[in-house]
Amino acid sequence: MTLTQLRKLKKKAEKITCLTAYDASFAHILDQAGIDILLVGDSLGMVIQGHDSTLPVTVDDMIYHCQQVHRTCTKALLIVDMPFMSYATPHAALETAARLMREGQAQMIKLEGGAWLVETVQLLTERGIPVCAHLGLTPQSVHQLGGYRVQGRVENEAECLRNDALALQAAGASLLILECVPEKLAAEITTSLEIPTIGIGAGIACDGQVLVLYDMLGITHGKIPSFSKDFLQETGTIAAAIEAFITAVKTGIFPGSEHTFQ
């Protein structure tokens, strides 16, 4: 899977599938099942390391887990998160991204934030580093946002997200994740962009869907987000759960109204 192929899927209105992966065994199962994108997410800080946020995750952590996923990922596009404060300045972002791609073998990096990242995205893409942007609920800013809550419900926030999405695309971002934003707003942003959008708690109109693997298998300790779904409970095996997720996304069954914010 390449960025060119993802754009073609958007143009053909064919849904894109994405799940997080943190190790070689799960990566192999996901890759063989036909997942379009594997995301080595800093969510590993919570589901793997047991922290209450993603903030303690380091660049070395991300490299270590990305290396594992890369060893068995042969078909899917491999994206890796840039952890908290590792891209606070454009220069820091360039150094971090270079390590994640050179040592971690990632094919694309993901960073959280809006228009303040325009200079960083330009710098990275000009130097051949593909960028996936992330708007809406950005977990690395959880304390500033006042908790894990839906973003963009009031018009000034919604307009900011619309403008941020366009600015990041213009700066060179090739993909955009929208997390926990109202369904109507996500649809507006998706329509306004040439690049694909991947939703998580952002409704059915996004060009694709992503979930944390451990959430969709129902094995996350603590409360599972309302926008997720336990596919393992319905199917009984991990392989069948992954196949069910792919089918549900591709056919437009998932996310349903119960997984969507208005």
CATH for 205: 3.20.20.60
Query: What sign results for the dihedral spanned by CA atoms 222, 76, 55, 59?
Result: positive
Among positive and negative, which fits the CA dihedral 114, 117, 123, 128? negative
- What local confidence, expressed as pLDDT, does residue 62 receive? 98
> Average of pLDDT values for 179-196?
98
pLDDT exceeds cutoff 90 at 144? no
Number of domains making up the chain: 1
pLDDT, position 222: 82
Q: What is the mean pLDDT of the chain?
A: 96
Q: What is the mean pLDDT of residues 248-255?
A: 97
Residue 160 has pLDDT above 90, yes or no: yes
- Residue 143, pLDDT > 90, answer no
Residue 223's domain comprises 3-259
- Judged by DSSP in three states, 102 sits in helix
Per-residue pLDDT tens for 213-250? 999 999 998 888 999 999 999 899 999 999 999 999 99
To the query of whether residue 179 is one of the catalytic residues in this protein, the response is yes
122/164 Cα distance (integer angstroms): 14
From 112, 179, 183, 188, the catalytic residue? 179
3-state secondary structure the chain: CCHHHHHHHHHCCCCEEEEECCCHHHHHHHHHHCCCEEEECCCHHHHCCCCCCCCCCCHHHHHHHHHHHHHHCCCCEEEEECCCCCCCCHHHHHHHHHHHHHCCCCCEEEEECCHHHHHHHHHHHHCCCCEEEEEECCHHHHHHHCCCCCCCCCHHHHHHHHHHHHHHHHHCCCEEEEECCCHHHHHHHHHHCCCCEEEECCCCCCCEEEECHHHHCCCCCCCCCCCCCCHHHHHCCHHHHHHHHHHHHHCCCCCCHHHCCC
The confidence score (pLDDT) of residue 145 equals 83
pLDDT at 261: 95
The pLDDT score that the predictor gives to residue 97 is: 98
| pLDDT surpasses 90 at 142 | no
pLDDT digits (tens, 9 = 90+) for 83-97: 999 999 999 999 999
The mean-pLDDT minimum among 140-154, 173-187, 224-238 falls in 140-154
Q: What are phi and psi of 223, to 5 degrees?
A: -75, 130
pLDDT at residue 148 in the model = 82
